[in-house]
Structure 1
């Protein structure tokens, strides 16, 4: 590893730790160390803040990794779980679950499990469709248009479900769609951690084949890269990482696109192992920072990510058009 990469990682790690400390002390009440370490009056508030930080760290690892894998596989810097419609379809799956399971009496653990499974199932199905359709498009930019159409269709179906939904179901869906990171419980974080860990293992297995794939299909096959296995790894890893976060935090838009973009700007884009690590570090820093802004302004998390991400994507499009 180069000195530049080590320096970048160190700076990001220090920034992440600083942001975590600020996040833990952001809220209506000022807490001290005893509130986090012992059963004090404010211990429950401290626990909520710890859960908030943990889920933001998991989101910061998962969403950029999902976007990074898809961008490297499709060789398109605009590929991401939200642009390609994966987040929208995962949201649609969650909407179906929320609206049609209202009268089911299930333990919290099973409710959380079914919520995450419905989100992952929807995203996996769309990823399979995207991979089959991508082979038919000579221009990969058409894939972005296809993803946009899928997002629009999913949004229309969600609107239809909201129109006919009961009041309580509609309220639950709206609260979920705002990205309320303060509402994530310890049990949900446990399920989310397992899903993220599984997705990261699949990501780890896909990096080396991706390096060969980036040099061209023929060259990759000459190196012994199993392209079908690589496709499966990308489907599983990207879908699980993006959909699991969507299931518990709502649609966090554009982070899967802009974080890989920033990482390529600050370090050699050809070194995929280092790029993956930088994506996770920078993703954690950005998500923790967004969480601090959300707590101080009371603006929903997905609104903040959109306001931050849309200008960056517009600049990327203008730069590509100039080239």
Structure 2
């Protein structure tokens, strides 16, 4: 590893620690150190804030990793975790669950569990469909077009469900879609951590083949890269990482596109191992920063990520058009 990369990682780590500490003391009440380690009247608030920081760290790791893998595989800097319709179908699955389970009385733990499972199972179902048709698409761009069509179809069904939904179930879905990072419990964080670790393990298996794939199909074959296996691993890891975050936090848009873009600007884009690490560091920092803004302004997390991401993506499109 180069000296520049080590310095970047150290700076990111210091910034993440500082931002996490600031995040823990952001809210309506000013907490003391004792509130985080002993039983006090404000211990419950301290636990909520710890959960908020943890879930932001996990989201900051998983969403940029998913976007990074998709962009490197498709060789397109505008590709993101939802490029194959994974986020849209996960949102559709959650919509079905919220709208059709309104009259079913379940404990809160089971409600949260089924909500998460619906998102993950929906994305995995789409993944199986993609795997079945991926072999028929020789050109990667057709797989991207397929994802856009799936996203449009899922969005249309969600709109139809919203039109006929009861008032309370519609409100519940809208609140979920905004991205409520304060609503995630410790048990949900355990589940999310397991899913993110599984997705990262699969991602680790894809970096080396992606290096060969970036040199061209013929060169990748000469290096012994199994492109079909790489395609499966990319789809599996991206599905797992993006769907798990969508399940617990709602659809957080554009982060998977812009963070890999920033990482390529600050370090050599051909160094994929280093790029992967930088994506996770910068992702954690950005998500913690968004969490602070959300607490200070009471603006939903999804809105903040969109306001931040849209100008960046427009700038990227204009730069590509000039080239």
Common fold by TM > 0.5:
yes
**Distance change in 2, residues 1:64/1:130 (3 Å):** same
- 3-state SS of paired residue (1:183): coil
Contiguous gaps of at least 5 residues in structure 1: none
Equivalent-residue separation in structure 1 for 2:213 and 2:225 (angstroms): 8
Contact 2:74-2:140 within 8 A present in 1 as well: no
Higher mean C-alpha deviation, range 104-113 or range 61-70: 104-113
Write the mapping of 1:112-151 to structure 2, written as runs, cut at 5 A.
112-127=112-127, 132=133, 136=137, 138=139, 140=141, 146-151=146-151
- 3-state SS of paired residue (2:182): helix
Equivalent-residue separation in structure 1 for 2:146 and 2:87 (angstroms): 14
- 3-state SS of paired residue (2:121): helix
Higher mean C-alpha deviation, range 216-225 or range 254-263: 216-225
Quote how far apart the aligned CAs of 1:164 are: 1.8
Match of 1:278 in 2: 278
Equivalent-residue separation in structure 2 for 1:137 and 1:220 (angstroms): 15
The Cα offsets for residues 40-88 of structure 1, whole Å up to 9 and x where unpaired, read as: 0000000000000000000000000000011111111111123543211
Are residue 214 (structure 1) and residue 220 (structure 2) matched?
A: no
Count of aligned positions = 322
Match of 1:33 in 2: 33
Write the mapping of 1:53-72 to structure 2, written as runs, cut at 5 A.
53-72=53-72
Match of 2:302 in 1: 302
Higher mean C-alpha deviation, range 15-24 or range 208-217: 208-217
Contiguous gaps of at least 5 residues in structure 2: none
Quote how far apart the aligned CAs of 1:156 are: 1.8
Equivalent-residue separation in structure 1 for 2:76 and 2:135 (angstroms): 12
Write the mapping of 1:1-323 to structure 2, written as runs, cut at 5 A.
1-127=1-127, 132=133, 136=137, 138=139, 140=141, 146-323=146-323
The Cα offsets for residues 4-23 of structure 1, whole Å up to 9 and x where unpaired, read as: 00010001111101110110
Equivalent-residue separation in structure 1 for 2:187 and 2:304 (angstroms): 26
Higher mean C-alpha deviation, range 251-260 or range 212-221: 212-221
Quote how far apart the aligned CAs of 1:139 are: 7.9
Equivalent-residue separation in structure 1 for 2:259 and 2:136 (angstroms): 27
Quote how far apart the aligned CAs of 1:280 are: 0.2
Quote how far apart the aligned CAs of 1:229 are: 1.6
Equivalent-residue separation in structure 1 for 2:3 and 2:39 (angstroms): 44
